[in-house]
C-alpha cells in the first residue's frame, strides 16, 4: 500500500508540473537522461518552494491585502481519483491568478488527502472562494463568504472566468434549505454523490487489486488449480493482504455515497448497507443502491426526528440515526434489494461468461471507446466503474479492455505529434511527447488540452483508437486483475504480448486518423 501511495503521489506531482508549457518544453529539450531527471527534480523543488509560501505561517495574501487593488481568492480543487485533474486545476488557477495579479491559495483534495489546507484566518480575509470539485468538499467553513461552485474541469479550462466571477458569487449560507439543494440537482447531483463514493473507494481497489494480482503472478497454478492465488506461502501472503483491502471496496463505496447525501450520520448506515450487499450476493450494483438508499434514509430520519425536543439533539447522531438507520437499511437490503439484484448479477455474469466472440469484441469496443469520450468525465468514470465491478465479479477481460481504452488517447496524441509535426504548433509539439508517460501510466487526462483545443478532430480519432484497442484486447482474451497501473502492471496481464499489441494498434490507428483529420498549421512552419 505504501508503494501504491508513493506511485499516486508521484503521478500527482508530475501532473502539476506538466501543465506548465515552459517546463514541458525544457523537459523535451533535455540532451541526456541525467539532465532530464535534474529538470524534474528542479521543477519539483520550485513547486515545493511555491507551496511553502502558502504554509499556515506564511502571509501569501498580504501583498494584495495591503495594496487593496486585487481580490484575495481561495480555491479548493478535487476530482474522483485525486491524481490528475485535482492538481492540473490547482496549477492552472495559480498560474492564471499570477497573470491577472490576483492573490490566490489553492487547497488540493487529492489521493494523499487534503494538502495546502485553507486556514480559518485565510478564509476570513478572503474576498471569495472557488470550489472546482467533482467530489464532496467540506463547506461549513465557508459560511458567510462568496462561494463559486463548479466542476474540476472548469478549473483547468475556465480558470480566468472563474477568478473574474468569484468576487461577485452568491454568499454561502449552510442552512438546512441550502444543504438539501444539491440533492435535487438531478443527474449532476447523483453523479457527484457517486463520485464521492468512488474516490474514497479507489485506494482500496487499487492497492488491494494490485496485491491480489501479484498473488496470482507469484503462485504455482499446478499445485492446486482450485486455490490458485494462495498455493504458495508468498502468494497467500499477498492474497490475504490484498483480499482484506479489496473486501472494504463495497462498504466504503456505499458509506461515502451515503455520507455525500446525508452527511456524517449516514456514513455508518451506508457502510453497513454495503457490507450486507456484499455478503448477500448483490455485489457492486447492490452497494450502489445501498449507498443511495442509506443517504436518503438518513435524510428522512433527520426530518422525522426534527420534531423532538432540543434537549434530545445530542443523542440523535450517536443513538437515533445509527440505530434506526442500520436497522432499516438491513431490512431493506435483506428483503427487497439483495434477492433481485443477486439474481440479476448471476444472470449478467452468466451472460458475460457465455458471450460469443463477436459480442465480446463489441463490448470491448464500447467500454474502451467510452474511456476516450470525455477523458476523466462521467462517461469515462462509468466505464471504469464497470471494469472494477467486473473484477469484483470475477470477470477480468473487461478491465483489460477498459485500461487499454484509457491508455490510447494520450499515446495517440504523442505519436501524432511525433510523426505528423506539421499538424501541430511548436507549443503543442513541445508538450505532446509528455503524453507518452501519461498514456503508459494510464492517465487519460493527458489528452485533455488537445481535445479541448480541437474536439471535432481529436475526439473521433481517440475514440476510434480506444475502441480498436478494447476490441483487440477482448478478441485476444487478455485479462487484467489489477484496476490501475498502466504499463507498470503488465506482468500481471493475461496474454501480455497481445495486450501490448492491442494498445499499440489502437494508438497507431488513433494517431493516423488524427494526422489525416487535422489541418496543417500555418504558424511556425520552421
- Give the strands of the sheet with 147-150, arranged side by side: 113-115, 103-110, 72-78, 128-133, 147-150
Q: Which residues contact 143 (CB under 8 A, 6 or more apart)?
A: 172, 173, 174
Taking the alpha carbons at both ends of the chain, their separation in whole angstroms is 48
Is 79 annotated as catalytic?
yes
* Ordered alpha helix ranges (H), 108-248: 120-125, 152-157, 159-165, 176-180, 187-218, 233-247
C-alpha cell at position 114: 487534503
Contact 195, 134 (CB under 8 A): yes
CA-CA-CA-CA torsion sign (310, 311, 312, 318) = positive
Task: Compute the distance between CA of residue 188 and CA of residue 132 in angstroms, rounded to an integer.
Answer: 14
Task: Compute the distance between CA of residue 24 and CA of residue 91 in angstroms, rounded to an integer.
Answer: 14
CA-CA-CA-CA torsion sign (50, 52, 55, 58) = negative
Q: Which residues contact 127 (CB under 8 A, 6 or more apart)?
A: 71, 72, 73, 146, 166, 167
Q: Which residues contact 419 (CB under 8 A, 6 or more apart)?
A: 511, 515
Selecting among 75, 79, 239, 245, the annotated active-site residue is: 79
Contact 12, 111 (CB under 8 A): yes
What interhelical angle do 187-218 and 249-262 show, nearest 10?
Answer: 160
Using alpha carbons, select from 370, 390, 392 the residue that is nearest to residue 381: 370
Phi and psi of 290, rounded to 5°? -60, -40
Q: How far is CA 39 from CA 51, 52, 498, in A?
A: 18, 20, 35
Using alpha carbons, select from 471, 205, 493 the residue that is nearest to residue 363: 471
Contact 199, 252 (CB under 8 A): no
Contact 499, 493 (CB under 8 A): yes
Task: Compute the distance between CA of residue 435 and CA of residue 17 in angstroms, rounded to an integer.
Answer: 13
Task: Compute the distance between CA of residue 277 and CA of residue 290 in angstroms, rounded to an integer.
Answer: 7
- For strands 479-480 and 493-494, give the pairing: antiparallel
Local structure of residue 146 (DSSP, 8 states): B
Residues classed as catalytic = 79
Amino acid at each position: 500500500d505504501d508503494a501504491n501511495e508513493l506511485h499516486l503521489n508521484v503521478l500527482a506531482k508530475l501532473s502539476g508540473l506538466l501543465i506548465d508549457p515552459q517546463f514541458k518544453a525544457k523537459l523535451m529539450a533535455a540532451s541526456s537522461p541525467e539532465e532530464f531527471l535534474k529538470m524534474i527534480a528542479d521543477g519539483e523543488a520550485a513547486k515545493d518552494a511555491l507551496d511553502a509560501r502558502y504554509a499556515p505561517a506564511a502571509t501569501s495574501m498580504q501583498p494584495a491585502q495591503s495594496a487593496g487593488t486585487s481580490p484575495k481568492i481561495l480555491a479548493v480543487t478535487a476530482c474522483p481519483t485525486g491524481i490528475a485533474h485535482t492538481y492540473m486545476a490547482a496549477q492552472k488557477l495559480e498560474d492564471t491568478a499570477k497573470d491577472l495579479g490576483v492573490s490566490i491559495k489553492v487547497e488540493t483534495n487529492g489521493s494523499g488527502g487534503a494538502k495546502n489546507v485553507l486556514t480559518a484566518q485565510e478564509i476570513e480575509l478572503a474576498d471569495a472562494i472557488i470550489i472546482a470539485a467533482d467530489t464532496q468538499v467540506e463547506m461549513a467553513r465557508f459560511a458567510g463568504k462568496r462561494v463559486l461552485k463548479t466542476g474540476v474541469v472548469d478549473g483547468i479550462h475556465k480558470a480566468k472566468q472563474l477568478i473574474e466571477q468569484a468576487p461577485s458569487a452568491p454568499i454561502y449560507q449552510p442552512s438546512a434549505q441550502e444543504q438539501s439543494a444539491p440533492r435535487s440537482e438531478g443527474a449532476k447531483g447523483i453523479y457527484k454523490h457517486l463520485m464521492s463514493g468512488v474516490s474514497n473507494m479507489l485506494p482500496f481497489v487499487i492497492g488491494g487489486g494490485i496485491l491480489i494480482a501479484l498473488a496470482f503472478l507469484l503462485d504455482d497454478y499446478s499445485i492446486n488449480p482450485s486455490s490458485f492465488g494462495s498455493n504458495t506461502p508468498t502468494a497467500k501472503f499477498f492474497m490475504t493482504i490484498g483480499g482484506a483491502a479489496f473486501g472494504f471496496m463495497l462498504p466504503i463505496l456505499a458509506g461515502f455515497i451515503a455520507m455525500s447525501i446525508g452527511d456524517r450520520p449516514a456514513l455508518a448506515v451506508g457502510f453497513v448497507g454495503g457490507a450486507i450487499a456484499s455478503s448477500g450476493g448483490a455485489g457492486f450494483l447492490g452497494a450502489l443502491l445501498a449507498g443511495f438508499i442509506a443517504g436518503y434514509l438518513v435524510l428522512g430520519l433527520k426530518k422525522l426526528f426534527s420534531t423532538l425536543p432540543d434537549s434530545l439533539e445530542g443523542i440523535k447522531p450517536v443513538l437515533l440515526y445509527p440505530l434506526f438507520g442500520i436497522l432499516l437499511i438491513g431490512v431493506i437490503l435483506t428483503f427487497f434489494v439483495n434477492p433481485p439484484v443477486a439474481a440479476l448479477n448471476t444472470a449478467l455474469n452468466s451472460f458475460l461468461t457465455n458471450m460469443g466472440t463477436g459480442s465480446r469484441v463489441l463490448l470491448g469496443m464500447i467500454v474502451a471507446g467510452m474511456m476516450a469520450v470525455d477523458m476523466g468525465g462521467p462517461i469515462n468514470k462509468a466505464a471504469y466503474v464497470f471494469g472494477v465491478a467486473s473484477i469484483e465479479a470475477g470477470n477480468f477481460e473487461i478491465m483489460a479492455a477498459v485500461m487499454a481504452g484509457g491508455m490510447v488517447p494520450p499515446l495517440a496524441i504523442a505519436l501524432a505529434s511525433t510523426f505528423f509535426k506539421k499538424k501541430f504548433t511548436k507549443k503543442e509539439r513541445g508538450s505532446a511527447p509528455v503524453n507518452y508517460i501519461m498514456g503508459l501510466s494510464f492517465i487519460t487526462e493527458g489528452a485533455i488540452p488537445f481535445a479541448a483545443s480541437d474536439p471535432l478532430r481529436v475526439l473521433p480519432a481517440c475514440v476510434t483508437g480506444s475502441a480498436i484497442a478494447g476490441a483487440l484486447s477482448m478478441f485476444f482474451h487478455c485479462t487484467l486483475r489489477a484496476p490501475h497501473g498502466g504499463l507498470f502492471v503488465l506482468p500481471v496481464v493475461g496474454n501480455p504480448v497481445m495486450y501490448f499489441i492491442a494498445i499499440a494498434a489502437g494508438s497507431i490507428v488513433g494517431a493516423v486518423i488524427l494526422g489525416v483529420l487535422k489541418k496543417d498549421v500555418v504558424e511556425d512552419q520552421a
